[in-house]
């Protein structure tokens, strides 16, 4: 069998099987792109309260300390104002999230329905609600989509249209239904080849992150570390939350605190470079302490290897927050394309059988 026929058959078989999973991933991902804006509108009384602008950072930190003193024995996590949320969220249980005013600390309400929906949607996107092995189905499908479906599709397109690009990039709606279906499949695939490839490759990272990292271990260039320009707390010191947060405020702001649980007796303080939805690089710093707030580990983008800095950008690239609103719109529309490719691919298969 000729190579071209093997590639075509591979494209067809993998597309008809893996295509369904990638369609679910794409559709749920597209729905999640504008989660901050949607949740803020639907549950404005909980996520925005009466606030018309973001609370000054120092006031938010003061409220965090106040709420800690009140709920230290029962809180699981504390989430500061972030993205479309202007209020303070305190998690007491899986289904018990309460919202407080970031300045006064007054209770506003609990359990925003839109937040619960998007949490359900995110689990569907990440693991199909199959906790044990669902992420491997999603991650494996993403890589098969990128490395087999997209590349084989591009190969077939290039083989046919390499000498007549105009024809290969245009859509004719005056042909028969069979040809229009084929042209839609071809046009959608070629125009969204690059964004779909990037989304699929970055999506695979969330399942196979250790494999991605091992691929860079033997390359010394990617293991170089630049000196930190931010004054970081040191292992062995006792964390003073207010003092540490203010000293890092120009570069990093406190995003969340995760409290000790029955299985983990550590605190985790997560800092991020931008609390609002914006373009640019995503940088994070995590400070781990024991139950007495003695620092046991500091993990920061500032002291990460070049490879780790690249991998930290997988998330903003995947969800469309590297290049602003244009990037988000591109990811939104790209998320709809796998469904179109799957439907037109199935129709092409049955048209061929007729």
Residues 6+ apart with CB under 8 A from 164: none
Q: Is the pLDDT of residue 48 over 80?
A: no
CB neighbour burial string for 330-350, b if at least 16 within 10 angstroms, e if fewer: bbbebbbbbbbbbebbebbee
Mean pLDDT throughout 177-189?
90
Q: Using an 8 Å Cβ cutoff, are 35 and 319 in contact?
A: no
Angle at 220 between CA 215 and CA 225, to 5 degrees: 105
The pTM of the full predicted model, rounded to 2 decimals, is: 0.89
Distance separating alpha carbons of residues 190 and 158, to the nearest angstrom: 10
d(CA 20, CA 328): 23
Task: Provide the pLDDT confidence category of residue 174 given band limits of 50, 70 and 90.
Answer: low
Q: What angle do CA 294, 299, 300 make, to 5 degrees?
A: 125
Per-residue pLDDT at 250: 92
Average model confidence (pLDDT) across the chain = 91
Q: What's the pLDDT at 52?
A: 64
* Both structure tokens of 310: 């690249």
Helices (H), 111-236: 113-127, 134-144, 151-161, 165-168, 177-191, 193-205, 209-217
User: SS3 for 43?
Assistant: coil
Q: pLDDT-derived band of residue 354, with 50, 70 and 90 as boundaries? A: low
In the prediction, which pLDDT does 125 show? 98
The CA distance from 190 to 199, in Å, is 15
Q: What is the pLDDT of residue 353?
A: 62
For the chain, give me the number of helices (H) and strands (E)? 15, 8
User: What's the average model confidence in pLDDT over 43-66?
Assistant: 84
pLDDT digits (tens, 9 = 90+) for 87-102: 999 999 888 999 999 9
Using a pLDDT cut of 70, give the percent of the chain over it.
98
pLDDT in tens, 105-143: 999 999 888 888 999 999 999 999 999 999 999 999 999
Sign of CA dihedral 139, 140, 143, 145: negative
Burial class (CB in 10 A: 0-12, 13-18, 19+), 134: middle
């Amino acid at each position: 069998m000729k190579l071209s026929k093997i590639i075509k058959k591979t494209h067809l078989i993998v597309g008809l099987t893996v295509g369904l999973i990638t369609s679910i991933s794409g559709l749920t991902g597209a729905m999640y792109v504008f989660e901050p804006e949607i949740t803020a509108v639907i549950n404005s009384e909980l996520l925005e309260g009466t606030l018309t602008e973001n609370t000054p950072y120092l006031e938010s930190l003061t409220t965090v300390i106040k709420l800690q003193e009140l709920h230290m024995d029962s809180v699981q996590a504390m989430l500061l104002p972030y993205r479309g949320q202007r209020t303070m969220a305190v998690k007491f249980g899986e289904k018990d999230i309460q919202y407080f005013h970031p300045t006064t600390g007054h209770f506003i309400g609990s359990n925003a329905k839109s937040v619960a929906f998007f949490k359900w949607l995110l689990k569907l996107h990440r693991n199909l609600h199959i906790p044990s092995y669902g992420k491997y189905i999603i991650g494996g499908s993403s890589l098969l989509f990128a490395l087999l479906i997209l590349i084989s599709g591009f190969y077939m397109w290039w083989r046919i249209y390499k000498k007549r690009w105009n024809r290969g990039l245009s859509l004719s709606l005056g042909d028969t239904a069979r040809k229009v279906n084929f042209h839609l499949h071809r046009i959608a695939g070629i125009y969204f080849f690059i964004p779909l490839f990037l989304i699929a490759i970055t999506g695979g990272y969330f399942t196979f992150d250790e494999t991605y990292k091992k691929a860079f271990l033997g390359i010394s260039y990617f293991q170089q570390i630049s000196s930190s320009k931010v004054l970081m707390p040191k292992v062995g010191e006792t964390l003073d939350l207010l003092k540490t947060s203010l000293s890092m405020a120009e570069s990093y702001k406190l995003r969340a605190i995760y409290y000790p649980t029955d299985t983990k007796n550590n605190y985790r303080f997560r800092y991020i470079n931008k609390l609002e939805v914006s373009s640019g690089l995503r940088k994070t710093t995590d400070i781990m302490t024991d139950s007495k707030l003695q620092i046991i580990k500091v993990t920061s983008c500032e002291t990460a290897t070049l490879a780790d800095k690249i991998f930290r950008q997988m998330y903003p690239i995947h969800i469309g927050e590297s290049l602003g609103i244009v990037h988000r719109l591109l990811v939104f529309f790209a998320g709809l394309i796998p469904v179109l490719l799957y439907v037109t691919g199935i129709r092409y298969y049955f048209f061929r059988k007729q």
